[in-house]
Structure 1
Amino acid sequence: MNSQIKISMFDDRIEIVSPGGLPSGLSKEEYLLGQISILRNPILANLFYRLGLIEQFGMGIRRIISSYQGSVIQPKFKIFEN
């Protein structure tokens, strides 16, 4: 999908909209549990890894959920087909 990721910052939250839905064959449950990592752009992911900007592929959602453990406010994920 030819569209940009949108990041909106508010006083009480940050919203990230990534158009295009989940990669084909990846369920919402698999995505939220971080069981499978499907790279949309392997070249960019490899570059970020080599620059030390990411530690491991497929850890982002798990790290977000983990960082909120024990917090009153929890992240919300809305996943749509597109």
Structure 2
Amino acid sequence: MSILQPRPSRPHDRWSRLLARVREAHATQVELHERVLLRNSPWLEDLLHWSWDGEDWQLHGRLLPPAGTSPSITRSGWCPGLG
């Protein structure tokens, strides 16, 4: 086998790549779903929460969240107050 020829792909490698793509697509769908839920619940923005602006964590809100409330941010740290 020459150095310039690509190594034959193994079935395991293909399945690993496919699984990684499926996981990435699922994570994207979850993030988008969480953003829609937050956009439809603007009162959650008033609850204190830390959100990620891409460079640093920012404290938003002015009210203490009651126990058992849903989070005011997505899993990635996005909140509607960021844009």
The TM-score by the shorter chain falls in which range? under 0.3
Q: Which has the larger radius of gyration?
A: 2
**TM-score normalised by length of structure 2:** 0.24
Which is helix-richer, 1 or 2?
2
